[in-house]
Structure 1
Amino acid sequence: MDRKINGFSLIELLVVIAIMTIILSIGIPNFFRWIETYRIESDTKNIYAFIQQARMKAFTEKIKLDIVLENSNTPNRLCLKCDSSDDDCKNEYGTNYIQCIDLKRPFNGNQVNISKRGTLNGGPVYFSSQNDSEYDCVRVSDIRVKMEKCNGNP
């Protein structure tokens, strides 16, 4: 009498579960490291775009603007506001923030000032600790904004 056996034995299932556990124990830490790197790079690119957008606004509207990093809230916020010496800007936008973006990770840095001609002064805005990301800070000079790898050092 031939018996047809369907299914898996308990030993076969335990071997498969053991192999999957080993593979997942190797893969999960790398996945979380990749997520952290992605968030830092995403924030850096958002900061870069925000500064470029503010620069264009200052140049086209002929107003002085300041970009400030607000660390009091969680998450951090990068905000655009009128320069304290520009009355034209204050008349148009008031003394509150014009625009803000929320950052996923904690960044540090100095205030960035933008003149009516679109030139920049201040910075950098950087991620505060070492990481594996390609970009983790944004530096500004008179006419240039660039993303760099700072590794926690300004």
Structure 2
Amino acid sequence: MHLILLALLVICALAHPAYAVSDPAELLPNRQQEQRAERIGGELRCLVCQNESIEESNADLARDLRRIIRQRVAAGDSDKQVVEWMVARYGDFVRLRPPFTIVTAALWGAPVLALTAGVAVVLIARRRRPAAPDPLTPEEQRRVSELLRQ
């Protein structure tokens, strides 16, 4: 029984890379090109799914994009050319790890700046608040008591 389960586990583990491509006709005959296509597809975001790579997604658009990637790899395009082709059509959003630019720096820096500005406003507001009055002296307390009795 344990041997059967172990054999099933090994078969599933070895078959795992085949799950990425739903249609065997999508696979490239050259194993090196297929590995390149899988690596490129793993770096690109499925535009339909939430944070899933093209290689992992089962969406129709992801399937079409996998075919395009494999066609371009088979045509001799470099990895960089394939990625640039995708970015030219879909923008930097198609990359799972977009490049660091001024725009991405602003996106990452804006929350930090907003938090810093908020803390600064709170600190300045607290400093400008008037200080609590000094406590009454015994003489002043006596005088207030007299005035309240009248």
**TM-score by structure 2 length?**
0.23
Q: Rg larger in 1 or in 2?
A: 2
The structure with the greater share of residues assigned to helix is 2
Larger RCO (CA within 8 A; separation ≥ 6): 1
TM-score for both structures, normalised by structure 1: 0.22
Q: Per residue, is there more strand in 1 or in 2? A: 1
